[in-house]
Chains A and B, each alone.
Chain A
């Protein structure tokens, strides 16, 4: 076990919990797994039981959506207790091989996808991309994200952003293969601590990014946005999500559309953008500027958005959840609204919702599109 300076109880302020149950009550995965975070917080008061708790398979069902933290009347973060338990397993070295491989890959190649760092910019092929250089002023330094860089389905987000940025004439720069994982998911997988991989990556990334003279960093993924904004205390630059930038471009008329887009669009609030960082209006504004499109809302929207189950290490950890995936429920909701476009602003949401649409067989009626993809289509 760890010889941490603080005990587990102190670290996560477990004694502050009043067992009200609002956490589990709001937990989106609670309906389909055995995960009961309130119960775990209580059980964790007994240090002797920690190892047993760490071996519960359901602790890997948590998506880090933070609903529990938002709802907690005592301002506690129950999901961090789960991360702490994951950390106990990580320290022991005995973790699921897929999680192991993701962590090793993040350490070795700067991405959790077991891809060579040297291929991180391959998505740029065929595009005119302006590259940023350390020390040379750039207004908008774009932080791509490992998943967007390597996964063919969401490379489209980066490719479309390049199109949009070039069209708008705004000053921007991309990082080359030196860009490394923001470590958001490394945190969630539990590789944390005084000498954790997460802390090491934050330190290295901070040093790397601080070498750039930037107006602000524009993150394409809400996960990177959240991490860079909230978990990088020494990062000099301001951090925004790309929807912030798009709103500006549209307001300043640096971006205009001449095509009509007669689609019914429903926007799904990504947890890391909405719930966790209160960015609800900017994406909606951007979508509202699409000529000819009708915007509808989910009943569970904004802070009540239904987590797609992509985050919290879920891309790598096997879980024992049962029943219908939340993403599939979301796909059904979208269909019930008659939406033809399920719009998102997060690569994990794209991937999980895409799978859900396929699983439900709705491909004829609707598609999932990242906001960047929609705008990219419009300016073609």
Chain B
């Protein structure tokens, strides 16, 4: 099985305060901590599990700056064989269709036929849920999105798609195909530092637009068919009754409201 897995470096904004920067079109990321996108991490594990079960290779593809090398090496340490990093600020990475175009070019540029491309179904920062499926179209192969369980058979896969309400839709897709992976499909392993060091020996090629065989006019912001006009912090319009006091008092006050207000 020749598998590609596409990963993205994203900030963890679950606790961080997100502020719009001076340009109005980006956020101030100076205090963010970055790591591999959650769903992509599960995709890496899935790719490695497939390799362990079926043999073959796993190539890691990432569009990101040099800071992403650490997480790429981690993916290699877990079982990836080689990596490609697309590092070109001219690419409008915020447009998922252009990201897909660049990723597809990187994969096609490897020359070999592939069997499977895995990627996370959604990124924590942009949340478009679009890159993976667009990538399938760019590569000219079928796909299945939001997969919670993947069974690899001869020449095809059975993908369990997790739908609303927890229902599973089982689809059979002929390989080669693209599958976007949902979190919780497996338990990602730990990559010990020793493994990361050894992974330094594995190939990590850095690519620019020209290396992808693309023109700047195909992937730059000018090529995007949509234009983001500005970020703004939404007003948190809350009609909630705010409970005041010391933290412990708040707990007690709420308890009283629940009981006395007949809310239980």
Do A and B touch each other in the complex, judged by CB within 8 A? Answer: yes
Which A residues form the contact surface with B (CB < 8 A)? 90-95, 97, 99-100, 103-104, 107-109, 115-119, 191, 193-197, 200
Instruction: Write 27 A-B pairs (CB below 8 A) sorted by A numbering.
Output: A90-B190, A91-B192, A92-B189, A93-B78, A93-B189, A94-B189, A94-B190, A99-B190, A100-B190, A103-B190, A104-B35, A104-B190, A107-B193, A108-B33, A108-B35, A108-B70, A115-B15, A116-B12, A117-B33, A118-B30, A191-B192, A191-B193, A193-B192, A193-B194, A195-B194, A195-B197, A196-B194
- Enumerate B153-205 residues with CB–CB distance to A below 8 Å: 187-195, 197-198
Using CB atoms and an 8 Å cutoff, list the residues of chain B in contact with chain A.
12, 15-16, 30-33, 35, 70, 78, 187-195, 197-198
Complex contact A116–B16 (CB within 8 A): yes
Closest Cβ–Cβ distance, residue A10 to chain B (whole Å): 19
* A residues in contact with B78, CB < 8 Å: 93
Question: Is A197's CB under 8 angstroms from B192's CB?
Answer: yes
The smallest C-beta distance from A177 to any residue of chain B, in angstroms, reads 10
Q: Of all chain A residues, which has the CB nearest B48?
A: A93
B193:A195 contact, CB within 8 angstroms: yes
Inter-chain CA distance A41–B250, complex, in Å, is 51
In the bound complex, residues from chain A placing their C-beta under 8 Å from that of B12 are: 116
**Contact A97 B187, beta carbon cutoff 8 Å:** yes
Q: Which residue of B lies closest to A97 (CB)?
A: B187
Give the interface SS of chain A, mostly helix, strand, loop or mixed.
Answer: helix
Out of A103, A115, A194, which one reaches B194, CB within 8 Å?
A194
Q: A116 to B32, Cβ gap below 8 A?
A: yes
* Chain A positions within 8 Å of B190 at CB level: 90, 93-95, 99-100, 103-104
CB distance from B193 to the nearest CB of A (A): 4
A83 CA to B192 CA, complexed, in Å: 15
Top 7 closest A-B pairs, CB basis?
Answer: A93-B189, A116-B33, A195-B194, A118-B31, A100-B190, A197-B193, A195-B197
Q: Which residues of B contact A90 (CB under 8 A)?
A: 190, 192
In the complex formed, the residue of B with least CB distance to A200 is B193
Provide the residues of chain A in CB contact with B33, threshold 8 Å. Answer: 108-109, 115-118
Name A118's contact: one of B32, B192, B194, B195 (CB within 8 Å): B32
A93 near B192: Cβ-Cβ < 8 Å: yes
When distances are taken between beta carbons in the complex, the residues of chain A under 8 Å from B188 are 100
Contacts of A94 in B (CB 8 A): 189-190
Where chain B touches its partner, the secondary structure class is loop
Chain B neighbourhood of A103, CB < 8 A? 190
* Chain A hits for B31, CB < 8 A: 116, 118-119
Give chain A nearest CB distance to B72 CB in angstroms: 13
Q: Which residues of B contact A100 (CB under 8 A)?
A: 188-190
Contact of B193 among A99, A118, A196 (CB under 8 A): A196
Q: How far is the CA of A97 from the CA of B45 in the complex (A)?
A: 13
**Which residues of chain A have C-beta atoms less than 8 A from B195's C-beta?**
91, 93
Output the nearest chain B residue to A119 by Cβ-Cβ distance.
B31
Known: A90-B190, A115-B33, A116-B31. 20 other contacts (CB 8 A): A90-B192, A91-B194, A91-B195, A93-B78, A93-B190, A93-B191, A93-B195, A100-B190, A108-B33, A109-B33, A116-B16, A118-B30, A118-B31, A118-B32, A119-B16, A193-B192, A194-B194, A195-B198, A196-B192, A196-B193
Closest Cβ–Cβ distance, residue B90 to chain A (whole Å): 28
Q: How far is the CA of A139 from the CA of B77 in the complex (A)?
A: 43
Residues of B within 8 Å of A95, CB to CB, are 190
Q: Which residues of B contact A197 (CB under 8 A)?
A: 192-193
When C-beta atoms are compared, the residue in chain B nearest to A87 turns out to be: B192
C-alpha spacing A95/B31, complex, angstroms: 30
Q: Which residues of B contact A195 (CB under 8 A)?
A: 193-194, 197-198
Chain A residue contacts of B187, Cβ below 8 A:
97
Q: Give the complex CA separation of A100 and B191 in angstroms.
A: 9
| B145 vs chain A, min Cβ distance (A) | 25
Task: Name B191's closest neighbour in chain A (CB-CB).
Answer: A93
Chain A residues within an 8 Å CB radius of B30: 118
Chain B residues, CB < 8 A from A97:
187
Residue of A whose beta carbon sits closest to that of B33: A116
Report the bound CA distance from A309 to B135 in whole Å.
50
For the complex formed, measure the closest distance between the CB of B142 and the CB atoms of chain A, giving whole angstroms: 32
CB distance from A127 to the nearest CB of B (A): 19
Name the distance in Å between A108's Cβ and chain B's nearest Cβ.
6
User: Considering the chains assembled together, what is the distance between the CA atoms of A191 and B31 in angstroms?
Assistant: 28
| Nearest-neighbor residue (CB-CB) of A177 within chain B | B31
Q: A92–B189 Cα gap in the complex (Å)?
A: 8
- Select from chain B the residue with minimum beta-carbon distance to A94: B189
Most buried by B among A119, A195, A200: A195
Task: With a 10 A CB-CB cut-off, give which of B16, B189, B192, B194 has the most chain A CB atoms.
Answer: B192
Closest Cβ neighbor of B30 among chain A residues: A118
Q: A202 to nearest B CB, angstroms?
A: 12
Q: How far is the CB of B114 from chain A (nearest CB, A)?
A: 25
> Nearest-CB distance from B105 to chain A (Å)?
30
Q: How far is the CA of A117 from the CA of B70 in the complex (A)?
A: 16
